[in-house]
Structure 1
Amino acid sequence: MTTEITKKVTLDSLPNEILLTIFKFLDSVDVCLAVANVCERWNYITRDVTLWKNLSFICNKNMNMKYISSVLSEMPLIKCVKLQWRTDVDLIFQELCCNCKDIRKLELVCCGQMKKTCMQLLADHFPDLEVLSLEKCWAVEPTCFNFVCKFPCLRSLNVSHCRKMDGPLLREIVDICLFLQHINVDYVRGLYDEDVIYLLEAKKSSLLSLVLYGECLTDMTYCYMEKCSVLHTLHLSSCLQMTDKGLMSLIKLNSLKSFKLRLAKHLSTKALKNFLLSDKASKLEYLILSRLPGMNDIAAHNISTNCIHVRYLEIVYCPNVTDRSREYVASGCKQLKVLHFRQNGPPCGLGNNS
């Protein structure tokens, strides 16, 4: 007769490597204020630099400054910080510089009252910043954006809705930030063909994603995009001067996976149908078509027959698309997870609609 002895497995019996993996799924505040205080061993694990590479501290508008200061004092290894709807950016930046050793990712969303001293402080303490987002920030001193050039290691830059960004500054950023792969200049007015083409020429072999406001752009820019050999995300808004020639040139983007086209009133139905029937369109996983008068049910039907890999789809405010198209794409796009179909009624969802 054999006796099996079953050893009870507890958290204490797990090796450090396993605990480290578990801790990576926790919130950064829980890690520093709870996990680190359980015992000496757990405290030691929470000071592993690899743990903090993917943890983020999200500072929302409801957090008071005393709490933020106390939390950051326990996060010397934090790499990623996100600020949302804050008007005390200068105070938070001071706390970051005092407590954090090496911020690599800083994202600001709808923050206001930014002064150039804030950016100077940031540039002095974190020159190796790799991701910077100033999305929809308001009441920003004009010279703040000049400090973007102080971060030569940037790989991702988001300055959408920033009024003080212009063509000459964009060119300077392109020249200095040699590693830029992701650029978002949506709703940045005053960018012309020569500015964007300068960007495309400099980054044609490395640019991965581009979000662009096309108010002042012509087909010259869109045709030049075919040189971007590894571009997988292209989101275009207000393409007021785009014609069929500009759209059809995008068929040559071999790596495209995510595409948005908004407000292109000069595109014909024929061009939209041909684009959606192209081999490149068949590889799309994310597709948004908005405010396109040339879009109709026949063009939408091409999505259901050709865009077989699309997972996220929006067809919104296209006046010549009817509810019939909703049935087409819902039945034809087998991998579709999210569908927003909005014209006169509420959005329609399929599967994991969000």
Structure 2
Amino acid sequence: MNVLCSESMKIEEEVSDDSGTAAVHSLPTELLVLIFSWLSVEDLALNVSKVCQRWKDSLYFRTLWCDKELIYENSREDLFIFVLSVAPALKQLSLNPLFCGDPAAIVNAICKGPKDIRKVHYNLSLFPAAVASRILGHYKKYVCELHLEGYANKHSSIYRNLDAELGQMSQLRSLKLSGYFDTKWDKKVLERGCLNLHHLDVSLIQDESDSYKPFLDNVKSHLKTLKLPQFKSNVGVLELVSSCTELKEITLCLDDLRCISTLQSLESLHIRWSDGVLKSKMNRFVRDCPVFGNLKELTLFYIPGLLATAIAKQCNKLETLNLHGITSCANIIKSVPSLQKLCIVDRLSLRMRHIQKLPRYIPNLRHLNVLGSFLNKGIPPKIISQLKQELPELVISSEPFVRYTKRGNKGYFTKCTDSSTDCSSDEA
């Protein structure tokens, strides 16, 4: 806003005698760009550029595109090509469809467009391997966050030279692999590269293989965040995970939990339920593992109530707790008085009386999120007022409160929404 208020800026006032309003084109270009930054990519490309030359010229301003994401769609190829030609500061690009209408035109526009894209989502089946190498090579010096998708119905050639391309991305810090990656990563090629990855997400890989194991082995010393697949990992992968000495955050299934026993730097743990776990052995591990005492954030997805409570009790430094589908929320809440943030998604067992007792059990609570709980009916305003009296700094996120009133002798219920309640406001 300092730019808008600088003395060097001259506002040309063109006022109509009959209306008394200033013409839009009299606004300073910087102010136009600020207004345009609120528009979608489609509106910018399809409407703004057609009004006048001055508006079209404003599309070249770098600040206009910093927060925009350009998404390729088969029905909007002209839009995609145009934006690449006018957006010098575009930072996010998504090439996710399964096929391309005019591959030559799209690839040409990409390779002539801006290089300093920081975030790329790319479907490996969209173009042949040689073209994929050309596209990824175009962004290799600047891309920081990369999401690659693979598909089983495509020949393995789509993965050709992928390890070499990734090895040249010196700025890459976050990589997500989803779909099917039953491919061979060349460990020697990866070692020759300059990859310094901090965040690796393989949680959406569909094939139950350990094809990413050489890749994980190459980046394990740098990793800060790791998301493992939703199925049980094999022993070789878990051995590599246990040697990630700098790891701060990990997401895994309950079957893989034992691999965290050596991760002394771990601060955030996210656990998903998996079948076939022996609860007695897991309880013993939870009781004896010292890592739980270092955790500041814990997320539990559909973990059995007794085991979930046992895990929470070991986390005596916990600040953030997220519970999804846990049947004993009340017992867990009592065991973590150090909490500052609490998120509960529970449509069955959570009751209003549990919410009313929160100040007693969690005296330092500042954020409460119950979106998706209480059958999406929200929290009554009276209870919100009571909570805020006891916890003045508390911020609450929930659906608007809904009352159900019984009418007539036949048991009909009428839904009444109390729209006056804003759970995040001080007045609530």
Settle same-fold status: TM greater than 0.5.
yes
Mapped partners of 2:134, 2:46: distance in 1: 27
Q: Which residue of 1 aligns with 2:98?
A: 86
Q: Residue 309 of structure 2 aligns to which amino acid in structure 1?
A: I
- Which of the pair has more CA radius of gyration? 2
Alignment RMSD: 4.6
Query: Which residues of 2 match residues 116-127 of structure 1 at below 5 A?
Result: 116-127=129-140
| Pick aligned residue for 1:314 from 317, 324, 327 | 324
Map 1:205-354; keep pairs closer than 5 Å: 207-213=223-229, 215-217=233-235, 220-225=239-244, 227-228=245-246, 231=248, 233-237=249-253, 240=255, 242-243=257-258, 246-250=259-263, 252-254=264-266, 256-257=267-268, 259-263=270-274, 265-266=277-278, 268-272=282-286, 278-281=292-295, 283-284=296-297, 287-290=299-302, 292=303, 296=307, 298-299=309-310, 302=313, 307-310=318-321, 312-315=322-325, 326-327=350-351, 332=358, 334=365, 335-337=367-369, 351-352=397-398
Give yes or no for contact 1:269–1:296 (8 Å, CA) kept in 2.
yes
What are structure 2's unaligned runs of at least 5 residues?
A: 1-19, 333-345, 380-396, 400-428
Matched, 1:183 2:212: no
The SS at the match of 2:158 is helix
CA distance in 1: counterparts of 2:190 and 2:378, whole angstroms? 40
* 1:158 correspondence with 2:214: no
Q: Distance in 2 between matches of 1:326 and 1:307?
A: 21
**Which is bigger in relative contact order (C-alpha 8 A, separation at least 6)?**
1
Residue 9 of structure 1 deviates from its aligned partner by 8.2
Paired with 2:316 and 2:27, the residues of 1 have a C-alpha distance of 51
- Counterpart of 1:134 (choices 148, 159, 167) is 148
TM-score normalised over the length of structure 2:
0.58
Partner of 2:394: none
1:100 matched residue in structure 2: 113
CA contact (8 A) 2:164 2:189 kept: yes
Query: Structure 1 unaligned runs (5+)?
Result: 1-6
Q: How many residues align?
A: 323
2:198 partner amino acid: Q
- Please give the alpha-carbon distance, in whole angstroms, between the structure 2 residues aligned to 1:94 and 1:192: 28
Identity between Structure 1 and Structure 2 (%): 18
Tell whether the 8 Å contact from 2:305 to 2:327 is kept in structure 1 after alignment.
no
Amino acid aligned to 1:80: Q
Whether contact under 8 Å (2:220, 2:243) holds in the other structure is yes
Pairing partner for 1:143 from 143, 157, 160: 157
